Chains A and B, each alone.
Chain A
Amino acid sequence: KNQVEQSPQSLIILEGKNCTLQCNYTVSPFSNLRWYKQDTGRGPVSLTIMTFSENTKSNGRYTATLDADTKQSSLHITASQLSDSASYICVVSPMFSGGYNKLIFGAGTRLAVHP
């Protein structure tokens, strides 16, 4: 079983609409949780990073939330644009990983924004 599970696997929305992507994780304890945007064939680009003690972080139209008790995070995208079409990946860093900063990636949610 993956330590970071994302849902939905894929999502289609109309331009201008809002959407929320989910991330459930079992990694514990963890030091931080990140959301990345990955365009097709490109490397991931960081959107937000939250430590275990934070419960929300915004970056423009992107807002990430974190509930460490239920081990859930969400990424909310407001007023979607065609350029938001990409995969969104949830990444968790364990608190203790043997001397290096390990990243555990979810499989991502593929978002398509249609005009």
Chain B
Amino acid sequence: ETGVTQSPTHLIKTRGQQVTLRCSSQSGHNTVSWYQQALGQGPQFIFQYYREEENGRGNFPPRFSGLQFPNYSSELNVNALELDDSALYLCASSLNQGAGGYTFGSGTRLTVV
């Protein structure tokens, strides 16, 4: 059974650019949640995808968007990057929106300069 895989592990972008982060969910899981974790803080919920549809969203602007594919892998897209977007982005997969718990990936460290 494979866990949650995120790519890339590290990324440096310039302010104003766009970025796409990827997440492969754990085998058998159909739900993916994305979180932003600033240094020294707990993760903040961005949004959740369940069976290819967004069914929950946190307090993030529309330039944060996502997709979930038929194999339940997911992408997080951020447009018009700002310096404050620098953070660790975590993906968590689960079965049926959290039943049985969540498995987190190791995250993508995004630095915006």
Contact = CB atoms under 8 A, between A and B. Distances in A.
Interface in B65-104: 88, 90, 92, 94, 97-98, 101-102, 104
Q: Which of A49, A99, A101, A103 has the most CB of B within 10 A?
A: A101
Interface stretch (A52-60, A61-69, A78-86, A104-112): A104-112
Q: Assign chain A's interface to a size class.
A: 20 to 34
B42 A100 contact: no
Interface in B34-60: 35, 40-45, 48, 50, 55-56
A43 B109 CA distance: 11
B104 A43 contact: yes
Contacts of A108: 41-42
A44 B104 contact: yes
A46 interface: yes
Interface string B21-42: 0000000000001010000111
Interface of A: 4, 41-46, 49, 89, 93, 97-108
